Amino acid sequence: MTISPGNPTLVQVYIGEPIQHRSDYDCLSEVYSILIQKGQWAYVFANFHLADRQVDLLVFTEKTTAIIEAKGYSFPVRGGTNGPWEQYGPNGSRKIGNAYEQAWNARNALCDAIQRRYQTNGYPNGLVIITPEIPKGSELAPNYKVVIKGLSQVGPELARSSGALLTQEQCES
C-alpha cells in the first residue's frame, strides 16, 4: 500500500485476517489513499468476521459508515438483488455468489451490531466495488440500498452521507 500526502495517523486501519484476494487489496489501497487525501479521521476494518459473516471492508468517517464487498470480476456478470449471479466467460456461464446479497446482509448485520451497543439512526451505506471496473457487457440491477460501482467510483461513494454514524471514541472502543 502506498501512502499519499496527508496525515496517515488520522486513518486507522485494522486487518483481521491476512488479505488473500487481489480485489480486496486493491479496494483497501484505494480507500486508504482517498481517506488520507481527505485529511480527516477515519477507521477502516478489513477482512474480519461480523455476526458469522466475513466482511471485506468497513469504513467509518465523520459523515459515513460504509460496508464494502470487493469483487474482482474479469468477465461480464449478470444478476439482481435476489438469486445467484452468473458470470459469462469463454467457456460459457457459471453461477457465482450474489455480491448484492452479501453486501446487504453485512450491512444489516453491522446495523444490528451497532444498535446493540450505541443508539444511532439510519443505516450504513452498502457497496459492492468491482475491481478494476465493472466488466463491459455486465447486467447488474441498480438499487439504492446497496450500490454497485467500479473501483474508480469508490471516492464519491465514501463521500456520500449515511446513517449509523459513530464518533472516533466509539470506533476506538
Edge-first strand order for the sheet with 125-130 is 11-15, 42-50, 53-61, 65-71, 125-130, 146-150
Confidence of residue 1 (pLDDT cuts 50, 70, 90): very low
pLDDT tens-digit series, residues 114-141:
999 998 999 999 999 999 999 999 999 8
Cell 501512502 belongs to 3
Digit-coded pLDDT (tens) for 36-93: 999 999 999 999 999 889 999 999 999 999 999 999 999 999 999 999 999 999 999 9
Cα–Cα distance for residue pair 98/111, rounded to 1 Å:
20
Give the model confidence (pLDDT) of 150-167 as tens digits. Answer: 999 999 999 999 999 999
